[in-house]
Amino acid sequence: MTDRPEKRCLDREPAIGFALKSPISGRIVDITAFGAGVESHSPLKVLEERPFTFGIGRSNATVQGRVRWCRLSETKRTTDGDSIPIFRAGIAFVEP
């Protein structure tokens, strides 16, 4: 494996307590002024552009975004022995 320089110009900040509320429910992993990393149980369609609603508590914000990448990150076992997929995706914020 080769070391590749980081292309991002801004540090990603953890988004503790923030949720992805629409188009699917999930969790915001990290965020910058230009985009966000999210986790969900459902995949997002790469290159799809649409409004995304983020929130914490009762406060919500909707931004236009484009899914840049999405992949299966891991699977978790429930107490019943079922597997639940965890997808991670990168969303780039775009001008509406």
CATH topology of domain 13-93: Thrombin, subunit H (2.40.10)
Query: End-to-end distance of the chain based on CA atoms, in angstroms?
Result: 39
Checking DSSP bridges between strand 83-93 and strand 19-22, what pairing results, if any? unpaired
Enter the tokens of residue 66: 């484009």
Query: What was the pLDDT predicted at 50?
Result: 93
Rounded CA separation 3/14 (Å): 24
Rounded CA separation 73/75 (Å): 7
Query: What was the pLDDT predicted at 7?
Result: 56
Q: What is the pLDDT along the chain (96 residues), one digit of tens a residue?
A: 445 454 555 566 566 667 888 888 899 998 888 999 999 999 999 999 999 999 888 889 999 999 999 999 999 998 999 999 999 999 999 987
For the chain, domain boundaries: 13-93
